[in-house]
Chain A
Amino acid sequence: MTETTITEKKKEKPIKWREMAFEERPVLAAGHRLCAGCAAPLVVKFTMMATEDPSICVSSTGCLEVSTTIYPYTAWQTPWVHCAFENAAAVASGIEAGLKALMRKNKIPKRKTNVIAFSGDGGTYDIGVQALSGALERGHNLTYVCYDNSAYENTGIQRSGATPYGAATTTSPGGKVIPGKPEFPKDIVKIAAAHDVQYVATVNVAYPKDFIKKIRKALASDDASFIHAFSPCPLGWRADSSLTIRIAELAVETCMYPLYEVDCGEYRLTKMIKKENKVPVEEFLKTQGRFRHLFKPKRRDDIINDTQKWVDWKWQQLLRLCGVKEE
């Protein structure tokens, strides 16, 4: 429990793009094998741009891991560790505890070192949720970034607990009887926030300033912090590579993936979408082939409307939590 929120504690520093572009930042080196238009490397890039201290990164098994560290090469310019699929949070916990003990016992020099875990939605929502919950409950000083591309893209686009309602994946195909995933995704951000850690937030690659500010807050917390990063996947979503950022914007404009933070228990909306500016969810769905069966050969208004209702309901919930009244 803290009296002061991270936002109050962490004096905001202006983000100067021009300067940052020329600064030596430990980000992913060029030449990694992620797909064109994949948002995952942007998630890493913006996260690492936000760091002000040395960092150790952990990845769970997934696209990001297999595409950036093909032996004997590596794209990582920070120390980087991969172990398995479901345990990025536990490995990061171990690294944090190890550094803490070694520094306390004067076995290594004392210096602030960020421990940052990157994991996809499969490794976070599903197989890794137990390790994540354990790490959050124990309150290791680490930042866990979930890049949510809403399916097991690495193994060939199977559905996960993050896959949207109605989306077609290889294990929830747009079938003749069941048109795509019949379940709504779980709310991992609320699950994380329910651990009462100091800082939990959603970020989006289309809003880099907001992204970096939030990572800075997460790193400033001396608790475990959780970041949900919306991360379009052109391959799995059957979307044009050039549309990644536009899809990411639509995710926010439709209120399907809102931008907010939970700072010491306080919900705060960081990107208000006014009623009149709120884009119908259909506009988001239409950009991606994984929803094509909702429009062709026959329009599935039932699924589209249910999605819209669900988005509206979640959005109203969030507004209430943030204490925001729609006019």
Chain B
Amino acid sequence: MGEIVGMTGDESIAHAVKLCDPDVIAAYPITPQTIMVERLADFVYDGELDSEFIPVESEHSAMSCCYGSSIAGARVFTASASQGIALMFEILFIVSNARLPVVMGVANRALSAPINIHAGLEDQLVCRDTGWISIFCHDCQSAYDTTIMAFKIAEDKEVSLPLMYGIDAFIISHALEGVETLEKREVEDFLPPRDPLYVLDPDDPISVGSLALQDSYYELKYAQEQVMINSMKTIKKVQEEFGELTGRYYNVINTYYAEDADVILVTQGAITGTARTVVDRYRRQGKKLGLAQVHVYRPFPEKELRDALKGAKVAATIDRSITFGAPGPILYSDVKVTTSNGGPIIQGFIAGLGGRDVRIEDIAKVADRAFETAKTGEEPSKISWVGVRGVEF
């Protein structure tokens, strides 16, 4: 067992990145991601990490630098949040299409306006169409572990796709927890050096980023989607190998008491932990409540989620995000589509936007509401906002 070190989410990511020995780090500061890049700058400036640290002038350039460095063959890391991701949005699509395994840590923060620095998963959820692998962590240990797995998944030649993984602003990014660390040697054995899919060799020149019009764009996108779908295999394989190394096994969908549950809470990020506490309380009272955490979000683990939810009467999704005018928030919609063919009733809840504290009793209310639905068997007609003032829940 490795040493237990007290670290915040940001710090655990920085320390794990250091073990992965990136060649280039290009990042722009944004609360609450700042500590990730500050620590990495410390490592580089103190000579503990041999990386080119590019202190870019914007997130747009951060992602553009990552694009350039990754094409040059480097192992690349960046980190951002909220508005930063909104600013680099354009380039995210280009990085994935070029099959570049850029790894990005995200401190999930609510999007402006109004400006807010606290937790919200929408900054990463809205990237669902960018072609990036997307993972949501639930504590500092999973942030640390996911960092190390991220490089291995992204750089696997079968995958060669960018990967972003998030931790909730402050609740994880700035939260101290005990993190079981790995040795440099262990990570070196686990994570092979990057072997790029292609290189920029002046002796064997290629062009990257060509114009592809009506006659080729369509096929290229189809091919890209196949790579994304197939990446699930590698994600699972790497999770398995990581479990063998550390004893910490991650799944694309992490479940807790889901097998015999009548009601299953479907969560992402930090809310998962609080929901789990509620499951424990309810189980002590003999209520059949379970939990399914959508840990890997893109590619979406459809089969695994269906398996997790198959015995339940109601699955209550809790979204820490909003998408306006849609049939439901983002996680809800994905879960609903996935289970549309004979699954449980999907009941959608929104909670905790802008870092509003999501308390144990809030989640208990969600569970109670879902149990009511299970009893009546009637599908609720609208999405419920948990604890929004002035609106009856």
Interface of A toward B, CB cutoff 8 Å = 26, 54-56, 58, 65-66, 69-72, 74, 76-84, 86-87, 89-102, 104-105, 107-108, 113, 130-131, 133-134, 137-138
Query: Given the known A-B contacts A71-B216, A90-B61, are A58 and B205 also in contact in the complex, defined by CB atoms under 8 Å?
Result: no
Q: Does B74 contact A (CB under 8 A)?
A: yes
Q: Does B54 contact A (CB under 8 A)?
A: yes
Contact B64 A107 (CB under 8 A): no
Q: Does B94 contact A (CB under 8 A)?
A: yes
Q: Does B202 contact A (CB under 8 A)?
A: yes
**Segment of B130-138, B206-214, B293-301, B316-324 in the binding face:** B206-214
Q: Does B177 contact A (CB under 8 A)?
A: no
In the bound complex, how far is the Cα of B69 from the Cα of A319, in angstroms?
Answer: 41
Contact A101 B64 (CB under 8 A): no
Query: Given the known A-B contacts A97-B52, A102-B23, A138-B54, are A90 and B60 also in contact in the complex, defined by CB atoms under 8 Å?
Result: yes
- CB nearest to B72 among chain A residues: A98
Interface of B toward A, CB cutoff 8 Å = 23-24, 26, 50-52, 54-58, 60-61, 64-74, 76, 90-91, 94, 193, 200-203, 205-213, 216, 220
- CB A94 to nearest CB in B, in angstroms, measures 3
Known: A71-B220, A94-B69. 7 other contacts (CB 8 A): A76-B207, A91-B67, A92-B68, A93-B64, A102-B74, A113-B202, A134-B58
In the bound complex, how far is the Cα of B192 from the Cα of A107, in angstroms?
Answer: 13
- CB nearest to A91 among chain B residues: B68
In the bound complex, how far is the Cα of B220 from the Cα of A52, in angstroms?
Answer: 36
In the bound complex, how far is the Cα of B71 from the Cα of A94, in angstroms?
Answer: 9
Contact B23 A87 (CB under 8 A): no
Total of A-B residue pairs, C-beta within 8 Å: 166
Contact B65 A108 (CB under 8 A): no
Query: Given the known A-B contacts A92-B68, A94-B68, A97-B69, are A70 and B210 also in contact in the complex, defined by CB atoms under 8 Å?
Result: yes
In the bound complex, how far is the Cα of B50 from the Cα of A104, in angstroms?
Answer: 9
In the bound complex, how far is the Cα of B76 from the Cα of A86, in angstroms?
Answer: 21
Contact B91 A81 (CB under 8 A): no
- CB A232 to nearest CB in B, in angstroms, measures 23
Contact B202 A54 (CB under 8 A): yes
Contact B23 A105 (CB under 8 A): yes
Choose among B52, B203, B207 the residue that contacts A80 (Cβ–Cβ < 8 A). Answer: B207
A-B contact pairs, 7 of them (CB 8 A): A56-B200, A71-B220, A72-B216, A78-B205, A83-B64, A86-B60, A101-B23
Contact A90 B56 (CB under 8 A): yes
* Contacting residues, chain B, for A92 (C-beta < 8 A): 68
* Contacting residues, chain B, for A89 (C-beta < 8 A): 61
Contact A84 B91 (CB under 8 A): yes
Choose among A84, A105, A113, A133 the residue that contacts B94 (Cβ–Cβ < 8 A). Answer: A84
Q: Report, nearest first, the 5 A-B pairs whose CB atoms are least far apart.
A: A94-B68, A98-B72, A54-B202, A134-B57, A82-B209
- CB A96 to nearest CB in B, in angstroms, measures 8
- CB B282 to nearest CB in A, in angstroms, measures 50
In the bound complex, how far is the Cα of B211 from the Cα of A26, in angstroms?
Answer: 21
Contact A87 B61 (CB under 8 A): yes
* Contacting residues, chain B, for A133 (C-beta < 8 A): 57
Contact B72 A99 (CB under 8 A): yes
* Contacting residues, chain A, for B206 (C-beta < 8 A): 74, 79-80
